[in-house]
Structure 1
Amino acid sequence: MQNRSSPFLQQDRNLLIFLVVVGYIATFITSARGTTEFSAFQIVTGILFGVIYLVLALFDEELLRRFSGNTRHIIYFSVQIALVFGIGWMLGPGGNWLMGLPLASVAVVRLSPRGRWPVYLGIVASFVLPILRYSTWDAALMNGLVISAGIFFSVLVSQMRLNEQRARENAERLTHDLEAANRQLAEYASQAEELATMQERNRLAREIHDNLGHYLTIVNVQLEGARLTLDSDPARAMDALTKAQDLAKKGLASVRESVSALRVSPVENRPLEDAVAELVDDTEADGLAAIFQFVGNARPVELKTALALYRVVQEGLTNVRKHADASRVDVALDFTQPDRIRLTVQDDGSGAVDTSGGFGLIGIRERVQLLGGEFKVETSPGKGFLLEVTVPVMEDGK
């Protein structure tokens, strides 16, 4: 059975025509063995009923499509059962019961289980009632049991085929849904890959800006100091050049780390406070005092948190060198609270009106937000610049 709207496959149609032909042959054979003679009117009418029955059965889909609701099924089955009854009434109950079997199969496909029973009873009645015209009640009862068994077998086979068809349709629908879900997952995977690529690109941009920009700024300051003191104090100028050279080497190493996807972290395998202290020491130059203060008890810090705080200090010190025109910068790392770390970078420079900052501050804000922390900037003209960051913290590896 193909689907609920088309109960006949081509082989079913061939079987239907075969049953009608065999039904007529059985009817005429039964009649020929008996004593009943049929008029031309009975023969023509009986055959005409069979033709109408066959046309309605073969083209039921097209006919039923013209109507809507359950009424169309009531009309269809009533007419078909009446035609089967008419054939048996006109020509005798010989083989008209074979024509009732396809109706039972169609009822399985088109009707609900409760709505099928009137059709089954009607098929039995269409065969039993003509028997009463030509024979006895005993013969009608016996033949009624036989046709009931035939209907049961037809219904059983039809239900099995219907269940098989529905299972196949469900499998096809499930396959289609799975294919659609697979395509959707592929699209999501592509989007996730693009997002991961974008996030990695942004991360590398922040790393290169914070790290390389920090070293280049300090090297530039040292070179400028050496240029100004080269004539008046050659020893001091040489010291500045030596320090600039050391910083340039560190910057070159940092670039190599960035190119290799930053696999080696500046805070890996050493305490955060030591790494920050080294940054502050590298920042000290002529005319600028850099002070580092560590408060609380030292403890291991998750690597990503330590790296983010290290980059915050690095960018903060770079901004002081480039923009603050300051004489002092204080960096404080506060470990007094067990569940968070507070970091401040404060200078006594010229301050600023705009607190939004450039790419550096945007990068700091992104780092802190990724950790679920808080980012705050306080500044005003002539009152220096305060950068404060607070992040939740876990011990490394926990």
Structure 2
Amino acid sequence: MSELRGVGKLSIFVEIVLFSFRLFFYVSALVDLYTEKDTVDEFYLVLTWLVIAIIVPICFWIPLIYKRSMYYCFAELLLNGSLTIYAMQTTNSYTALFIIAALTVSFHLERRYYWLIAVMAFFPFIEFILQGISLEGENPYFFIFNHWLLLMIGFGFNLIIKAYKNTENLNRIIEEQNQTLVQYAKQIEHLTLVEERNRMARDLHDTLGHSFIAYIVGLDAVSYLMDSNPSEAKKKIEELRDYASGSLNQVRETIHEIGTETDISLTSNLSAIIDEFSEYTNTNVTFNIVGDEEYTLQHSIRMTLLRCLQEGLTNAKRHGHAKEVMVTLSFLEHEIELVIHDNGIGTDQVEYGFGLSSMKERLAALNGKVQVVSTKKQGTMVKCQIPFRRG
């Protein structure tokens, strides 16, 4: 990024050099004109014309202060072009007046006016049309070569600086999109943590609430049986103990997250992530479900698929710059399959960075596997498969 930020400094430096070169050239032309005023017809007309041709264009271009590129270009072409044609007609020889105009104008041209390059390239041949081939003075081809050379130098700087500025803008847009993706990932992580906290709270509430109500009712019964039927009371206490042991195991399962997910389905969780992703990244994501019924999945499998979806969507946007993504969740006979297919830029060589490596490790822990297929300009397909047998 530091190189790209230096483009602005380079552009300013080139402008200052061209501005100084132009000013020096025309001041020299003024001095030469004044020195040879006795040999110049209509000296004051030419002097006034030259001063206007120097001053008016810089009213639209002063480096670091003011710049209206196309106003400058048209003023330069009109005033210096007409003065050059007048000078060639009166002296019947080539003049280098327009060379500097060709240099500075070609540097300032906007894209929609690039056709003026062809006009300026043809400019040296105007005298051939007006006066014919036989011109007095130095070899005209020398001036034509210099004219074209400076024209191409100015236009070359124009293209280089515009290309770097476009690259800088694209990098800024990509950086903003990456920031959006980072925020999205943080929000998904936060939502996942909140979801887990709520799930555990619900499980603990259902388990402990039901258990304590049973304890209270059972203890009330024991209090009545203690005097009337001690043996029955003892039996009731043993039953309550066994029930308490079972409740304790349920609480342990909830805390260690080894219970099954019953309240929120996998498809609902995936849909929530997809909706969040579409909203925050402005990406069209379609979600398809294949299979007659959804399995009751272990928490570890569900969380792995959620993470795989999150990583797949993030990669599709961050690396593939995809605008459309299709997600397919398939409940098959002996496995569950998640496929993320995007229409991004793709690549001919897939590299397993941190995200894909983590995905591979998560799936391997469940005897699953990941397959990544990518083709340049045709997008990327990520397939996650986890073996699962209905129980």
Q: Which residue of 2 aligns with 1:231?
A: 227
* Structure 1: runs of 5 or more not aligned: 268-299, 308-337, 340-393
Is the alpha carbon distance of 1:212 and 1:239 closer, same or farther for their aligned partners in structure 2, counting shifts above 3 Å? same
Tell me whether 1:101 sits opposite 2:100 in the alignment.
Answer: yes
How is 1:155-166 mapped onto 2 (pairs within 5 angstroms)?
155-166=151-162
Q: Which residue of 1 aligns with 2:146?
A: 150
Q: CA RMSD in A?
A: 4.5
Q: Is the 8 A contact 2:56 2:75 kept in 1?
A: no
Q: Is the 8 A contact 1:212 1:251 kept in 2?
A: yes
How is 1:187-198 mapped onto 2 (pairs within 5 angstroms)?
187-198=183-194
Give the Cα separation in 1 of the matches to 2:47 and 2:176: 53
Give the Cα separation in 1 of the matches to 2:84 and 2:253: 91
Deviations 1:217-275 (A, max 9, x none): 332232222223222211111111122123223334443444xx3334489xxxxxxxx
Give the Cα separation in 1 of the matches to 2:260 and 2:60: 81
Deviations 1:68-87 (A, max 9, x none): 9xxx9667523331122334
The amino acid across from 2:298 in the alignment is L
Q: Which residue of 2 aligns with 1:18?
A: 24
Q: Is the 8 A contact 1:104 1:155 kept in 2?
A: yes
Q: Is the 8 A contact 2:84 2:98 kept in 1?
A: yes
Q: Is the 8 A contact 1:107 1:116 kept in 2?
A: yes
Tell me whether 1:303 sits opposite 2:298 in the alignment.
Answer: yes
Q: Which residue of 2 aligns with 1:262?
A: 256
Shift of 1:10: 1.5
Q: Is the 8 A contact 1:104 1:154 kept in 2?
A: yes
Q: Which residue of 2 aligns with 1:52?
A: 52
Q: Which residue of 2 aligns with 1:217?
A: 213
Give the Cα separation in 1 of the matches to 2:79 and 2:67: 13
The amino acid across from 2:256 in the alignment is L
Tell me whether 1:120 sits opposite 2:116 in the alignment.
Answer: no
Give the Cα separation in 2 of the matches to 1:58 and 1:164: 23
Give the Cα separation in 2 of the matches to 1:67 and 1:152: 21
Deviations 1:96-147 (A, max 9, x none): 414433235414624634333233333543x6689x5xxx943359743222
* Structure 2: runs of 5 or more not aligned: 1-6, 262-294, 303-332, 335-386
Q: Is the 8 A contact 1:53 1:80 kept in 2?
A: yes
Q: Which residue of 1 aligns with 2:84?
A: 84
The amino acid across from 2:100 in the alignment is L
- TM normalised by structure 1 equals 0.53
Q: Which residue of 2 aligns with 1:245?
A: 241
- How many pairs are equivalent? 264
Give the Cα separation in 2 of the matches to 1:178 and 1:247: 59
The amino acid across from 2:251 in the alignment is V
Is the alpha carbon distance of 1:174 and 1:193 closer, same or farther for their aligned partners in structure 2, counting shifts above 3 Å? same
- TM normalised by structure 2 equals 0.54
Q: Is the 8 A contact 1:97 1:147 kept in 2?
A: yes
Q: Which residue of 1 aligns with 2:42?
A: 42
Is the alpha carbon distance of 1:2 and 1:227 closer, same or farther for their aligned partners in structure 2, counting shifts above 3 Å? closer
Is the alpha carbon distance of 1:91 and 1:25 closer, same or farther for their aligned partners in structure 2, counting shifts above 3 Å? farther
How is 1:168-187 mapped onto 2 (pairs within 5 angstroms)?
168-187=164-183
Give the Cα separation in 2 of the matches to 1:211 and 1:232: 32
